[in-house]
Amino acid sequence: METSMETLNVARECLENKHFKDSINRAYYASFYAARAVLALERVDFKRHKDVIAYFNKNYVATGIFDREIGRNLARLKQKREQSDYDDFFIASKEEAQKQFDNAESIVAAIIEYMRKNNSGTII
């Protein structure tokens, strides 16, 4: 979770400094690292991003542990990050970067809350 929160702070800094594509990238990674932290509680990990997200959605979103909006926002973040990183013609606006940052912030906050309720160890 420490990596997730540090990455979210970098996303904020990129947004504030008008590095919108980088902000979208970092917002996605903050959410991805948070999802991986949940899986780590089970000692589960995957090499591919899509496998981490699929497992998280199947075992935590579909079962109602996390709201479906968390799963949708994680999928949107992944899609926007891929567009931002790989689509040469993608233009990241301030509004889009802000929206994705807000999504990441809500995902990270929900996962922190889950970990506080369900994990006797420290979060960071």
pLDDT band with cut points at 50, 70 and 90 for residue 118: confident
pLDDT tens-digit series, residues 8-43:
999 999 999 999 999 999 999 999 999 999 999 999
Structure confidence at residue 80 (pLDDT): 96
Report pLDDT for 119.
66
- Residue among 94, 107, 120, 119 nearest 57 (CA): 107
Contact indicator for 26, 77 with CB cutoff of 8 Å = no
Quickly name the fold that domain 1-120 has.
Answer: Four Helix Bundle (Hemerythrin (Met), subunit A) (1.20.120)
Contact, 39 vs 32, CB < 8 A? Answer: no
Q: How many residues does the chain have?
A: 124
pLDDT tens digits for range 55-68:
999 999 999 999 99
Q: DSSP label at 108?
A: H
